[in-house]
Chain A
Amino acid sequence: MRPLRRHTSIALVTAVAAVAAACGGAQTFGLTSDDNNRAALSQALAKRVLPAQAGPRNATGKPMAFVVLGGKQRRLVAYDLAAGAAAWVVDADVQSKVAVGGDFVVAREGGAVVARAIADGKVRWQAPIAGELVGAAADAERAYVVTAQTTAARPTWRLAALDGASGAEVWGADSPGQLGAPAAQGGLVMSPFLKQWLTFLDADTGAPITRVRGIDEEITFVRTTSDGAWFGSALGVFRVDEAAASGQRADATYGTMTLPKQLAKATWGPDGFDGVQAGYTAADRTRILWRTAGAGPADGGPLAFQDGGVAVHYFRFVFGYSIKGELQWAYSHPRVELVASEHVGTTLVAVSQRGELVALDPASGAVRWRGELGVEGAQVLGATIDADGWAPQGAADEGATTVAALISIARDRDARFADVKELALSALASLPGAEVTAEIIAIIQDPRTPPKLRDTAVEVLVARKDATALDAYAEALAVPHDYLTGSQPVAVAELARAIAGLGGAGIDAAARKRAVDALVLQLESPETDGPELVEIVKALAAIGDGAEVAPLRRMLMAYRADPLFAGDPKLVGAVIAALVARGGSGREWVAFVAEDPRSLDAVAAAARAALAKK
C-alpha cells in the first residue's frame, strides 16, 4: 500500500508541477516553498491566540451540539448540553458537517454555504459553492471553505475566507493540487495540501506563513481544540508545535498506538481529502478519541495522552485503551449506534441515532450524564459537538460497568459486529468473576452465536482457568438428553475443554464431585459423540482425582470389543492414557485389555503402547 501511495503522490506532485509551471508566479499552494522551517513555524504559532481556558468555540460559551436530523425535511438542532435542552430547531437542508464559528455556524445547504446565527438558527448569509465542498472551518470572525472543481480539464481547488457577518469573500487562494478540509484557530488557518503538506496561512489576509511537509507520514486531517492543534493521518497524530517543523515522527510531538485488529477501522480523524467525509458519514462512527495531558515536551517526543490512553468510538460502543493497548473500560450504548463523538477534555460526549446524548468519563467509561434531544422522531445523521471543557453538573454517576458492557457487546444480536464481539469476549478473559464465566457459557450455548465467536468464547473460557466456575460448568453439563422434554446438553466438548483447562489445582471437593458426576453423565450418554467423549475423558483425567478411574474402566471394558470404539483412536488413546496416568488399578486394567484376546487389535495395541511409555 505504501509504495502505491508514494507513486500516487509522485504523480500528483508531477501534475501540480506542470500546472504550477503553466501558471507561473508566486502562489499560496505550490511545490516550491520553505518547508519545515522551525523558525517560521515558531513565528506562525506566536501569532496564534489560544483561549485562556478550555471552552467551546462558539461565542455564547455554552457547550453545544449541533445535530443534523434526517427525514423528508432535514433539520438542524442546536442543543445546549448544560441546559439539557434544544436551544432551537430549524428546517435546514444540511449536506455537510457543521463548522462552528463565533456567533454563527456554517454548513453546506443545497448548493450553497449557509451561515446561521448561533443565537436562533436563522440564516445570516449564503454563498454559492462553485464545484464541490471539500470542507469548512470557522473561527470567531470568518468561515474558511475549501471547494473543488474537478470536472474541468484542469481541476482546481480553492480555499476562501468568508466574512462571518456578511459572507463576503475576504480572501481566497486557488490551488492546482488537492486541498483537504481546513482548520482555523486564533488567527491561523491550516490547510492540508496534496496529503503531503500542512500550509499555515494568516487568517486575516490569507498570506502563506510557512508549511510543514510530512516526511514519513501523510497529512490527511487537521483538527483544533481549545488547547492546541493537531494534524495527522491514519497512522497517528502530530501536535502543531515547533517540533512539528521536523516533519518526522521521531522528532515531532507524535502519538500513536496499536489498536486491536477488530477496531482497525477507527481513525484519528476524518480524511479531509475525501469529499464524502465533508458530510456526516459512517466514518464518524469509528473514531479514536484523544486529548493530551498538558502542553507536552517542547522539543518533540512521544505525545502523552490524557488518562494514559485513548478511547475508541466504534458504532454503538466506546472502549478505553491504555497506551499499551490494554482495555481499560467499555461502554455499550443501548440499541442504536452513536453517530458522533468528541473528546472535550473532561468528558467524552456522544450522540446516538435516536437523539440520545451521553457523556462518559474518559478515564473509566462511567456514564456522567445522559440527555435527550427532545425532538419527535429524531433520526440523527450526524453532529458537531462544541463543548470543550464541559463538565456535566449534578448528573448521576451510573458507575463503571465494563463487565456488563463487554457482556452486552458479546451477546449483541447485531450481526455486523462480529469482530467487536470477539474483542469484547477476549477482553473478558482477564476479568474475574463467576458471573463472567456464566455469561461466556451462555454465549457458547446460545445456538444463535456465530461459529467463529463461539470458538473465541471457548478459547476465552479455557484461558480463564476459573475454578470458581466449576459448578457453573457442572450445571451446564448435568442436562440429560431427553426425547420427551427435548432437553439436551449444549457445548459438551467446549465445557469439558474448559474443565480440563482447570487442571486439578484449587478445586473444591464438593464442586469436583458435582463436575465429575456431570461429566460421567455425558460420558455414558449414548448421544455423546466421539470428539465430545475425548474432551470429557480429558476433563475427567484433569480433575477426577481418582474418581475418573471407575467410569473409564467401565467404558474401556464395555467397549474394547466394539469396532466403533476401536475405530476412534483419539478416544481409545484418551481413555487408556487417563487410566495409565492414574496408575494403580487403572493401569492394571489397561494391562488386562492389552493382553486379553477379546480386546480388538486397535484397542490392545493402544494399551500396549501406553504401557510401554515411561
Chain B
Amino acid sequence: MNIKFSRRDILKMGAVGATAAMTPGLLKAMELQEAGKGADLRTAAERTQVVPYTCLQCNIEDGGLAYIEDGRVVKLEGNPKHPATRGKLCGKGAAGINGLYDPDRILYPMRRVGKRGEGKWKRVSWDEAYKELASRMAEVLDRAKEGKGSPNEIALHIGRNRWFGFDNRFMNALGSDTRLNHTSICESSKKIGMQPTWGPDIETPDFANTKYMLIFGANIYEASYFHNPYVQRVVEGRVGNHAKLVYFDPRMSNTAGKADEWYPIFPGTDGAVALAMCNVIMKEGLHNKEFIDKWTNYPSDKLAKYLEQFTPEWAEKISNVPANDIKRIAVEFALAAPRCTTYTYRGPAKHTNGSYSEKCTMMLNVVVGNIEQKGGYCLPRGFGYKHPQPEPPAPKEKSELAHPHEYPLAEHKVSHHVAYMIKEGRQKVSVYMRHYFNGNYSMPDSNTWTDLYMDEELIPFHVSMDTFMGEATALSDLILPETTYLERFDIENMPSSIETPWVGIRQPVIKPLGEVKSYRDIVLELVTKHLDSDGARGIKKYFEYGTTENYIKFMAESVPGVKEAGGWEYLKKNGVWSPKPVDSEPDYNLHKKDGFGTHDKKINIYVEEWAKYGFNPLPHYEPIPAHENMKEDDLVLITFKWNIHVQSRTANQKYLADIIHNNPMWINAKLAEKKGIKTGDLVRVTSKIGYLVTKAFVTEGINPKVVAISNSFGHWEYGRLATLKLKEKPEWAESGDTDFEQVFWKDTGMHPNYIIPVSTDPIGGSEGWYDTVVTVEKAQPGDKYKDYKVDKDAAVKAYQETLSYSYVGPNFRRRAPGKGEAKAGAKKGH
C-alpha cells in the first residue's frame, strides 16, 4: 500500500515528531561532533588492518588473518606464520565471514513468550537474562543445600568444546557433574581405542616423510581430522617420496579418487582387514620383533600365535577386500617400514566395534615398529596449560547422565543416550544449558531430542548460548547470544603438525556485533554479578581473575617459551607461537625419553581394563550385531561430510551453500538398475525405526551393499539459506532482494538422522553412525520428497537393544559367556 504526503502533512506530523525529538532520554544513536573532526579521510587501503586469529569453522583450528577495512572484515586468509596450516585456509575457513555477518544471526538476548517452540520471542536486557538464569540456578543450589535436590540438576551440554577446562571450572564451581558433550557422536571410540593402548587419543603420522600411507575411513583430502595441515603433508609425501596411498572407504570420496588403490570396504570391517594384515606381516617375518618385545606389554611370539586366526581369507569374507590384496598390501606396508603409517578417523570408529577396530588398525604400526620414526606413526605434539588459581574441586556427586553405569570405559561419555535417560527418570534436570550443540538436529534418532526439548516437565528451563536460531535454540526458553569465533578471546592448540607444537589465540578481530558476548564472558558476568555477587555461595572466588583476556593471557603465558618470545602481545600480533619455526625438521623417538603415556610406559597390546569388564583385551574383531543377520535386500546406510560443510553449522553460509546445498542418497549403479532407480528419482529408505523419502544419486562410486546420505542438510531451522522457506513465499522473494534472487536452487536436502537409531559401542560409547541397516525402494505412490515417519516405540526399543550389548546387558553375556558384569564385579552406578 502506498500513500502520498503533502508538505502540510509533514508539518503536522512534524509536531508529533517534535514531541518525540524533544523528549529527554528518548533513544538517539548519534551525536554531533565538532564538524569534520571524526572524519577519517585516509584511503581504504590505508585504513586496512590485518588481525590474526584461529579458525573455528570446524575443529581443525587453522591459523587465519582477518583483513579489516573501516572496522569490518572484508576477507579471511591463511596465516603464513602458522606452523601447521602454513598460510592456507580451506573453503569453510574462507567462508567464516558469512557466519560473522549472516543477517540471521541472533544479536540480542531473547526470552520466549509463547509456547515453547512457537517462535514468539521478546528482547530482554542482559541483566534480565542473567537474573532469570541465576534465580533458576539458585533455586536448585538452595534446594540441594537443604538436601532436597542436587547441583547435578544443573546441566551444561556443550558440543564443539574449545574451552580448555573453562566448562569444568564453571560446573565444578556450581558443584554439578552434569557436563554433557558431543564426543560420542564425534570420534570417541577412536580415542578409547587408542588411549589405553599408548596414552594419547590421536596419532600424528609423518606424512611428508612417509613412503606408504594406509588410510582407513579418514577422508583426508576433504574433511577428516586435521584435513588442511595433513593434506598438505600428504601431498608432500606423495610428490616428494612417491609415497603410495591405499584407502579404505565404502564411498568414493576425493581421497579415494586421489589414492593409488581404493577399496570400498564393507562398513565396520576395517578391524578385520587390519588384523589379517598384521597376521600376514608376522607370518612373513616382516615384523619388528625388537620393538614389540621392548616397547609393548605382549611378547611378539605370543602375538604372532594369537594373530594366526585372522587369515586374509577370513577377512575377505567379512570385508569384501580380496585376500590377495590384503596379503600384498600388508607386505608392501611392512617393507616400507619404518617409513609407513596408517591413519584413521571416523570410518573405523563409528561402529559398535569402533574401539576394537581403532586398536586393530593401530596394531599395524606396532607390529612393524614404525612408531615415532621418520615417515612413521608418531605421538601427537602439544602443550598443556596452567589455569588461574584457585580452581574448584570436582563435584562430590557423580552424574548418571554424564557417566552412565553401563559404559564404565567410555571416558568421553555417551551423551547421545541422555535424552532417553532423562525420559527414564534416571536423573532430574531443572536447568539445561546448551552451547555449540544442536541436539535435536545432530543426534541420532533426532526426533527423540525434539520431544525432550519440547517437554517442559523433563526440561523445565532450557537456556541456549548460540549464534543462530538452530533447531535446538528454537526450542529454548532463554537465548544468550554468543559471539562467533571472530569476536572473542580464546586459546588454542592442536597436535596438527609433527614438526612443532604450537599455541594459537583468537581475539576479537572487530567489535562484536549487536550485544553478543563470549561464553566465557557470559559465565563470568553471570557468576560475579548475579549468581554469587557477594561470594556467599563460594562460587565467585573461582572467577576473580579479572577479564576473559586476562584469563587467556595467563594460560598462554604458562606455556614455556611464550613469555620469552614476547608473551601475550606477541600472540596478539602474530596469532600463533611455536618453539620451532614453520617447516622445521620434526624430532622423533619421543617415546625413548619418557615412554608411552600408559601405566607401565609401554604400548598395551593387552589392555587389562578391557578384560576387567569382560571385553577382549587383545586386538579383536567384533561383528556388528545389526550386520550379523542382514537379508539379501538389506543395505547399510552411512553418512559423510562434504569438504565445504560441517555437520550442523554451515548450511546457512552463502559461499558454501552456493556450492553444495543438498544431499541425495548415493546408491551403486548396479543395484539402482536392479531396482529401477535413476538419479533424481524419489526413494524410500527404511530403517528399523522409520522411513524417509529422499532423492537418489546413482554412482559407481559406492559399495553395492551401502547407501550414503551426507550430513549438513535438511535443516528446518537455522536461517534463510539453510531452509529456503523464503522460496515458499514468492511475495517476499520478488521484492528486489538481489542476493536472494541469486539462489538458483530450491532443494535444501533431507536430514538422515531421523531414521538412524541409537547404536552404541559398549567400550568407547560411540554412536554407530555407519551401522544402520536399511532397505531402499522406489518411493511409494503418495510419497513426497522429505516425507519421513519415525516410530517412537521402535526408537526406544533400539536404545534398549543397544544397552543390552553393554557390559551389564544380556546380549553382551550371550556373546561373551562368562564375561561382563558378573566377572568384572564392577559396581553399578557411581
Q: Answer yes or no: are A and B bound together in one complex.
A: no
